[in-house]
Amino acid sequence: MIGQRLYRARKAAGLSLRDLGDKIGLTHAAIKKYEDEMSTPTSTTLLKLARALNVRTEYFFRPETVALDRIEYRKRSTLPKKRLEAIEHEVIDQIERRIELENLFPTPPVVPFAPVSALPAQITDLSQIENIVELVRKAWDLGYDPIPDLIDVLETHGIRVFMIDANTDPKFDGLAASVNQMPIIVVGSNWPGDRQRFTLAHELGHLMMADRLAAGIDEEVACDRFAGAFLIPRKSVEQELGTHRNCIEPKELSLLKEEFGLSMAGILYRVRDLGIVTPAWRDEQAKLFRIKGWHLTEPGRQCPAEKSHVFEQMVFHALAEDYIGESKAAELMRISLTSFQRIRALEGSDVAAHQ
C-alpha cells in the first residue's frame, strides 16, 4: 500500500526518484525499493517523505484508491507528459479525500449527475445548441439571469469540481474525467474567473451533448458554443444588445463581461453566432483585440475567480455531526491540527484552496 501511494505522491510533486532521494538524504535505489514494496520505510523516513512530498503521513495508509476514466484534456497534446502525470495524481489525491469524506455520511451528500431528459437525441446543426441550453437552464431553474456561482450550480447537480494550481501551466486549459461513473471537472484555482467559467461550462457541454452530435460536427466547437450560450443565453444577449447591431462599443462588451462572467472575446463570438453582427465585423474586432493586446489581457475590471467551498463545508458538516474528529478533519483538508483548530475557531484565513 505504501509503495503505490509513495509513487503517486512523488508523481504529483513532479519529482524523479533521484530528486526525492536527494531531498531526504537517500539514494534513488532506496526510494525505488519503497515504491516496489521491496522495503518498508521507517517511521522517521516516512515522516521525511511526507514533508518532502507535502502530504501528511496518514496519506500513505489511506485505503481508498481511484482511477480516472475517460480523461480529456483541452490542450493535452501540448503539455509535457511529466506535468500531465503530476496533474492526474494531484487530482486523484483530491478525489480520494472527497470520496472518503462523502462515504462518512449515512446518506449520500451529493445527488448523482443525470443529463436533462428533454434534450434531442441528435444534434445536426450548431444552431440547435441555443435551444439545448435553454432546456438545461430551465431544468435547473436558472432562468436567464447571470450565474453568480457556477461551481455551486454544477456541484448541486452531481458534477464534482476540483481545482489545482495551474499558474505554471499556461498550456493547461482544463480536464474532464469520470470516477466510478461520477463526472468531474478540473480547472486552475488561480485563473481569471472568466477563463474558469468558460472551461466549466465547456465541459458541461461535453456531458450534456455526449453521443448526440451528428457526424461532421466538431465537438470542441459545439461545446464552445454551449459554454457561451450557457453563460449568457440568447434572450439575455438580445435584451442587452438588441437583435441587430452595426457596431458594439468595447465598453458594452466590458460591462456584459462584468455582469455575466464571459470574456469580451467570448461575447463577440456570441453576437456573431446569433446573427446580431456580421462575421466580418467580429473578425475586425478580433484583429483589433490582437493589436491592442486584449487577446492576452482584456481591459477593465477582471472577473473574480470562482471559489469551491463544497469540500470544506462537508468537512465541517461531518465534524458537527460527529462523523469525524478534528484530527481526521485536518487530515482531509491537508493542514496541521493546530491550523485546523484556528480555522474552526474563526481565527484563520480561508482554506478552500486546501481541497
At CB < 8 A and 24+ separation, what contacts does 272-278 make? 273/126, 273/225, 273/228, 274/130, 274/234, 274/237, 274/238, 275/244, 276/237, 276/238, 276/241, 276/242, 276/243, 276/244, 276/245, 277/245, 277/246, 277/247, 277/248
Query: Which residue segment(s) compose the domain that 28 sits in?
Result: 1-63
Q: Is residue 12 part of a domain?
A: yes
- The model's pLDDT over 281-318, given as tens digits with 9 standing for 90+, comes to 999 999 999 999 999 999 998 899 998 889 999 999 99
| Percent of all residues in the chain with a pLDDT value above 70, rounded to a whole number | 93
For 224, the grid coordinates are: 464552445
Give the C-alpha separation, 147 to 142, whole Å: 8
**Does residue 350 register a pLDDT over 90?**
no
Q: Is residue 130 part of a domain?
A: no
Q: Is residue 186 part of a domain?
A: no
The last residue of a domain, from among 34, 63, 92? 63
Q: Is residue 235 part of a domain?
A: no
This prediction has a pTM of 0.82
For 38, the grid coordinates are: 521491496
**Does residue 127 register a pLDDT over 90?**
yes
Q: 310 with 155: CB under 8 angstroms? A: yes
pLDDT of 351 reads 47
The last residue of a domain, from among 14, 36, 63? 63
CATH number at 59 reads 1.10.260.40
pLDDT of 352 reads 45
**Does residue 268 register a pLDDT over 50?**
yes
Please list the alpha-helical segments (H only) found in the chain: 2-13, 17-24, 28-35, 43-53, 81-102, 128-139, 150-156, 193-208, 219-231, 234-241, 250-260, 264-273, 279-292, 310-320, 326-333, 337-344
Average pLDDT estimate for 235-250: 97
Q: How many domains does the chain have?
A: 2
> Cα 131–137–140 angle (5° rounding)?
140
Beta strand 182-188 pairing with 175-179: antiparallel
Question: Which range, 5-9, 37-41, 134-138, is most confident?
Answer: 134-138
pLDDT of 24 reads 92
The last residue of a domain, from among 33, 63, 93? 63
Q: Is residue 188 part of a domain?
A: no
Q: Is residue 232 part of a domain?
A: no
pLDDT of 188 reads 86
Q: 171 with 78: CB under 8 angstroms? A: yes
